[in-house]
Structure 1
């Protein structure tokens, strides 16, 4: 019983991460209607920029660690959001009305560009942060077993849930949310009603990059590093996990992705680790195929 509770506890931070990533991806997908692996690349890019500037501030400017981390966080947001704005305005918005293959090829090129930029900037060095908030918190215990998480896991989970809740409230109760839903339903009709679908596209795309940046920073804090190849890996993974709850509703997409996080953790605990990714991705492909809707052409 204790082992099962520990695995469920371990699944919560991963589920929160997947949910936050899926929520942000759904915001961008609502206006692009195209598969875009750039989102996962921006997740990794944010973590790599955090490491790069934290290392520079700590080892070159001789700042204390909190100040170095603050500089890394600030510049990670600046670089990531400006890069996301550039990608959305100069690459994705001009291509969304063209074929889906054009967007996929462009997204792959941007992903490679981001990964190589981060690698060259850090001179192919793998940078690491010191352990942060690694104090163990006991959630449940009996005479022989304790269910624990670290303080960093609890903080990350709380922040990601708060991020999803804030995004859901904005979409549901604000004018911006209503306009986003209108543009995702029918961009031309929204234009005829006086809404600039191009402006809404950029706002939604940058909002999605904001989610990816927050998740990238928090994940780097937890693991201590961000691999150069993580951009392509997470680009494909986020694309798949977001499909579990459907792309049409960010909150449903987040819920489905959270379920994938629990399934992945439980498979690791009770199944073969070597077959975990195969089993999870097979399930996601099955769900994606079964939920696909073809539109009849008269």
Structure 2
């Protein structure tokens, strides 16, 4: 049987990598990647080659890539645009040729509604499919994780590292065993961010706070890289952001058996259970102390693993993508 020719196009394909791998393994698709160098910059000759070759085009992010492909899509082709949150702060969705886009994917119910509210993207073309993780890869035995907090990604400042430090300080004052492990690039490793005075000054103040704190040695910056082994030492995964579109980090932690603590942001309740959402850092601290007083937290950890596997695992989400593409190919 002839394989469907599928192009993924975008400047950042990391959130789509599991979907790409899943579709490749079905042996139903031949896949090419059109890597863009920025939101609106690319090798146009490469994009033209991909356009002329493809049966189905998937634009990861609705930015300049989606504008370009929606302006050029051929009549026999199907075009899918997957939207996150970043696009809400751009003009790109106003430049789409909507009649040439077959499906818009929103990664959460709240984002679905926001794209309709702001850009009036057609509801009859919009689907909601959650972000995705590999639950089996993340499910590894915990190692001395009881007192270890983890936060994945601390840039830009809306990720609110300051609140994670507040939490550590509260807990450390009750028990010096508590530690905060920070996963991901440091803010100074993002040149675009470090050039912004408000961002740089925010982190410089936090670094000074850590340096002067009695709990200085309890903050560990672990750098960028794979997180499956890193999560083995994490007992509690934090989401302290002011806002998010989905925030994959707590769900990845959950898949490992880490207890999620998520500060409520608009739409968080459409992705995560109410019992994982909190109003403030004091509530975080009280819950962590409560759990660590339990004789065993294994039942709680099993519960969050099952939730992550059921809601976000590639086996479930990948099947939804397969069904969507099959449906499009069967339609006229």
Task: Report the TM-score range of the alignment, normalised by the length of the smaller protein.
Answer: under 0.3
More strand by share: 2
TM-score normalised over the length of structure 2: 0.25
TM-score normalised over the length of structure 1: 0.27
With a CA cutoff of 8 Å and minimum separation of 6, indicate the structure with the bigger relative contact order. Answer: 1
More helix by share: 1
